[in-house]
Amino acid sequence: MQGMLQSLWAYRGFIFGSVKREFQSKYRNSLLGAVWTVLNPLAMIIVYTVIFTKVMHSRLPTGIDNEFAYSIYLCAGVLTWGLFAEIASRAQNAFIEHANLLKKLSFPRLCLPVIVVANAVLNFFIVFGLFSLFLLVSGNFPGLVYLAIFPVLAILVAFAIGLGVTLGVLNVFFRDVGQLFGIVIQFWFWLTPIVYPVSILPESVRSLMSYNPLANLIGAFQDILVTHQWPAWQGLWPVTILAVAMCALGMRLFRKHAGEMVDEL
């Protein structure tokens, strides 16, 4: 592990340059440039808010009578889900997308997942920073509880990249993995309380949410930003252990098959 970290540090210029180049290339020849980073999730949030706000506002937990409550609830879920989906989806395609780079250049292969995380986190903080500004201006900033976002965010990123690298290695040898995950993640979104609160579900279904690792993570963000409460840390232990396990599994598969992946590609 120490050797890998040293290799990543030695190639920090390559990582930083790749992140910068990808961010710039994404908006090259675009009149609005990086503004699209904000407009895309904003458009989705506006659509969901317009469609669901009247229906869902009354379904939020009792005691929440803020006119912006559902919009904040929705933003907390959509933005954090977007971060998870971007990291996991891009990581599971990272080795295939950069096949030519892997075959022609000698560099730590682990740089690719790091670049994926760096790009996703950069995009997330641009949008989430503006959302935080909205909370501040509208008088809905959670105060000191806001700091709880960072450890929950770290768990989310660890779980996403662990899952992404695991799928990424498997996807090199079994291309159906990537196709299947694209379908799974669509169902996963709607099976997670993002657009709707978990309280509207039947008790029998609600109990199943404990098996959805993202339900507790996104629920923690919603608790922080909507009700201004510290998350239930004990409820985050299972997903934390799962995140560590996924990272360990991904790293094990990566180290074992790194050489074979180049030949397969």
Question: What distance in Å separates the CA atoms of residue 265 and residue 261, rounded to the nearest whole number?
Answer: 6
Question: What distance in Å separates the CA atoms of residue 180 and residue 172, rounded to the nearest whole number?
Answer: 14
pLDDT in tens, the chain (265 residues): 566 667 777 777 878 888 888 777 766 665 565 666 677 767 766 776 666 666 665 566 655 666 778 888 888 898 999 999 999 999 998 888 877 777 666 667 778 888 899 999 988 988 888 888 888 888 889 999 999 999 999 999 999 999 999 999 898 888 888 889 989 999 999 999 888 888 788 887 888 888 899 999 999 999 999 888 899 888 899 999 999 999 999 888 888 887 777 766 6
Structure tokens, 260 = 């074979």
Question: What distance in Å separates the CA atoms of residue 83 and residue 149, rounded to the nearest whole number?
Answer: 13
Q: pTM higher than 0.85, yes or no?
A: yes
Question: What distance in Å separates the CA atoms of residue 149 and residue 151, rounded to the nearest whole number?
Answer: 6
Q: What residue ranges do the domains of the chain occupy? A: 68-264
Q: Are 192 and 212 in contact (CB under 8 A)?
A: yes
Phi, psi of 11 (to 5 degrees): -105, 25
